[in-house]
Structure 1
Amino acid sequence: MAVTKMEHIGIKVDNLERSLQFYREVIGLTVRSILGEAGDGVRLAFLSFPGQASVEVELIERVFEGLPREGRVSHAAFTVDDIEEEHRRIAALGIPALTGISTLPNGSRYFFFDGPDEEKLEFFQSVQNK
């Protein structure tokens, strides 16, 4: 098994600009990258602490109808060395809700599956040096 670290925590937000300001000013995070443009169906922002980019906060802007306030954390993501190998391993275990491997515009790749209480988990292979 080649899971190497906690990758990021995804948080669903209503307004990316407002949330970016909050996480920069209140929490002290810095923006590493933003994927998507205003008006896109989904926009993602990745933030980390200055000088410590090993774990990120991912802000996810999309319309989330009827989402309870306590349901804002979307998923936990873990860095993997070989996304294809890990996908085959999870599939062989018969773990539910396994998605296919997807690719972000920057080339990073990921897939989702459910934990034992239906929590969303993500395995993520980044193209960035972490």
Structure 2
Amino acid sequence: MRAIHHIALICSDYDRSRAFYRDILGLPVIREVWRAERQSWKCDLHAGNAQIELFSFPAPPSRPSRPEACGLRHLAFTVADIDAEVTRLDAAGVSCEPIRIDEHTGQRFTFFTDPDGLPLELYEQVKS
């Protein structure tokens, strides 16, 4: 294993989620395709050294995320300045939890959610 290539997410409202990941989080679109045989959109977004694949499907079932459910717990994004990112998200109407300190690394982090309630994390990595 060399790296994570992509993370695939199925959303309940494709346009709303694409706007969230593209416009609010600022992830550039690599490509977007309509898959007629599956009645599904697929949007590949650039996320650092990996990609997020955003899918739409007709009537996808809900997946519990809280309380802690088996499966993907959250998706974390590395940021250089967590205060600036929290301020930017807040201005876009995205609420973040209070910033906490990772007791093992001393780095700061916070959580927020995407339009479907998927827990997302900002993890500040300060260059030393």
Q: TM-score range by the shorter chain?
A: 0.3 to 0.5
Q: Which has the higher contact order (CA 8 A, sep 6+)?
A: 1
TM-score, normalised on structure 1?
0.42
Higher strand share: 1
TM-score by length of 2: 0.43
